[in-house]
Amino acid sequence: MTQFSNFGLAEPIARALAEKGYTDPTPIQVQAIPPALEGKDLCGIAQTGTGKTAAFALPILNRFHNEPKHRLKYCTRSLVLAPTRELASQIAKSFEDYAKFMRVSVTTVFGGVPIPRQERAMSHGVDVVVATPGRLLDLVERGSLDLRHVEVLVLDEADQMLDLGFIHDLKRIVGLLPRQRQTLFFSATMPKAIEDLAARYLKDPVKVAVKPAATTAERVEQAVIHVNQAEKPALLQVVLKEIEAAGTLDRALVFSRTKHGADRIVRQLGLAGIVAEAIHGNKSQPQRERSLKAFRDGTCRVLVATDIAARGIDVSGVSHVINYELPNVAEQYVHRIGRTARAGRTGQAIAFCADDERAYLRDIEKLIRLKVTVLGLPADFRAAVANTQRIERNAPPMPREEERERRGGGGRPGPNPHAQVRPARAGGRPPAAGGRPSGGAGRVAGRPGGAGGGRPPGGGNRAGANAGARRGR
Ligand code: AMP
């Protein structure tokens, strides 16, 4: 069996890995590290959670160790492009961990933080820039970053970059890089468009794959519950409480198709006494970081996310993925459920399927080549529906910003990728994790309907989070 010592990594890197407790390389690392260390281009099919970050980070750091160079002002030796801020932050953190015993500077570049700070970081030159494409180009255009000395380019989650419409930015960026470079290309899936992109940017690449594109993580136990859209809030509460009562809830990631839907779910859970946080493109960077931290450290065990925001979130111990709405692109389902059952653990994925989502379910089952087990509605579901409706009637009206987004306002056109990864410029942001009851100390509390009291009566809040589903993720 291959061990890290077989790779001949520089001593400070090996020490950092030992300190992190990595004993054996993961399959993608076994396949990718040796050719990457030789300077070859790489085309890797691997999802987040497989250890792919180390697969590209370790060879880059090894290069820095073996070929030390003075930093050039406003230049970087390696550029990692990622589709979301979360993933970029996470990659940068991994680099820092693995380079703990080296003198390597790592900078993240993404929207949502003041640009002067990133410009200052560039002024001395850096070794690793981890960036989302839009802000990177902003920096280049402002003359604060020169890409002519990049030795290694990493494209991470290339399929997601394409989905997010980053293709033009990507092409522009690659056009600014030296032709003579090493390119490491990673994607969770390899549709034709991604294959074409790889063919264009890679020279004689070594192809590595840890899992065929469409296979679902085997360790995830999957189930679906058929339910009316309007009754999903009650179902979510009952399901979370059941999992909690069964003692299997570690962390639950709930997927909503829209930002507004995510906020509404958090609000409804709050009204039912369940502590939850939302993470999506309308949240500011500090808000996202706070929510992620709470989820990571267990003070909040239910995180409601949109697909975009959830990409790259690396939180171990996600015991449950709940697809509150089914994704309309089947591959997205695979990405979602891949958030659980990581690092050898088991996990459970539960989908809520309304009548108008049955076609999505069929697509998913075709893709994963599996019939998802159908579960019946829980025993106390009807009572929960009645209770939820009563609480909803007495709840304060939805905050204005949520209303605006629901109606399609907020100044952000739907498919604009920047709007999805950058903070809201116009239209402000929804309040953080609205409607949370006090107490609860991060547990999925068993207090059905207890949090509605004391609130001023207001106009009801319509259940059924599907409105405007495709607009603002
Ligand atoms: P990634 O797919 O790069 O996001 O990595 C997923 C998780 O696996 C991260 O938490 C890594 O720290 C962890 N990891 C990566 N490589 C190894 C390894 N060889 N042994 C144990 N954990 C690892």
Number of domains in the chain: 2
Same domain, 193 and 236: no
**Cα distances (Å, whole numbers) of residue 213 to 150, 190, 326, 337, 370:** 30, 7, 19, 14, 15
Same domain, 187 and 240: no
pTM of the predicted model as reported, rounded to 2 decimal places? 0.58
Give me the pLDDT at residue 86, please: 85
- The tens-digit pLDDT sequence of the chain (473 residues) is 778 999 999 999 999 999 988 888 988 999 999 999 999 999 999 877 778 999 999 999 999 999 999 999 999 999 999 998 889 999 999 999 999 999 999 999 999 889 999 999 999 999 999 999 999 999 999 999 999 999 999 999 998 888 788 989 999 999 999 999 999 999 988 888 899 999 999 999 999 988 643 455 567 889 999 999 999 999 999 999 999 998 888 899 999 988 899 999 999 999 989 999 998 878 887 888 889 889 988 899 999 998 877 765 777 788 999 999 999 888 788 888 888 866 556 689 999 999 999 999 999 988 887 889 999 999 889 999 998 888 877 777 665 544 444 444 333 333 332 222 222 223 333 333 333 333 333 333 322 233 333 332 333 332 333 223 222 22
Give which of 106, 109, 164, 175 is closest to 142, Cα–Cα: 109
Nearest CA to ligand 1 atom 17: 51
CB 159 within 8 A of CB 188: yes
Residue 246 burial (CB < 10 Å; 0-12/13-18/19+)? exposed
Residue 448 domain flag: no
CATH for 232: 3.40.50.300
The C-alpha atoms of residue 355 and residue 109 are separated, in whole angstroms, by: 42
DSSP 8-state assignment for residue 467 = T
Same domain, 30 and 115: yes
Residue 120 domain flag: yes
* Residue in the block written with tokens 């076609």: 359
Same domain, 144 and 292: no
**Cα distances (Å, whole numbers) of residue 14 to 4, 91, 152, 340:** 7, 18, 21, 28
The residue range of the domain holding 379 is 220-406
**Cα distances (Å, whole numbers) of residue 375 to 253, 334, 350, 372:** 19, 20, 9, 9
The alpha carbon of 162 and the centre of ligand 1 are apart by a number of angstroms equal to 25
Give which of 91, 195, 81 is closest to 147, Cα–Cα: 81
Residue 435 domain flag: no
Same domain, 163 and 285: no
The alpha carbon of 54 and the centre of ligand 1 are apart by a number of angstroms equal to 7
CB 205 within 8 A of CB 240: no
Q: Where are the beta strands (DSSP E) in 3-109?
A: 42-45, 76-81, 106-109
Looking at 213, 234, 267, the residue that finishes a domain is 213
Same domain, 15 and 164: yes
The alpha carbon of 13 and the centre of ligand 1 are apart by a number of angstroms equal to 15
Same domain, 231 and 209: no
3-state helix, strand, coil in the chain (%, to 5): 40, 15, 45
Same domain, 171 and 225: no
Nearest CA to ligand 1 atom 13: 51
Nearest CA to ligand 1 atom 15: 51
Same domain, 203 and 224: no
The alpha carbon of 226 and the centre of ligand 1 are apart by a number of angstroms equal to 35
Same domain, 199 and 73: yes
Give which of 382, 397, 403, 407 is closest to 271, Cα–Cα: 397
Same domain, 18 and 107: yes
The ligand 1 atom at the shortest distance from the C-alpha of residue 53 is: 3
Q: What are phi and psi of 324, to 5 degrees?
A: -60, -40
The ligand 1 atom at the shortest distance from the C-alpha of residue 23 is: 20
Same domain, 153 and 250: no
Give which of 258, 18, 426 is closest to 10, Cα–Cα: 18
Residue 438 domain flag: no
Q: What are phi and psi of 202, to 5 degrees?
A: -110, 145
Q: Where does ligand 1 bind, in terms of residues with CB under 6 Å?
A: 22, 25-26, 29, 48-54, 314, 343
Q: Residue 178: which residues within 8 A CB-CB, separation 6 or more? A: 148, 149, 150, 151
**Cα distances (Å, whole numbers) of residue 201 to 80, 195, 236, 388:** 14, 10, 44, 53
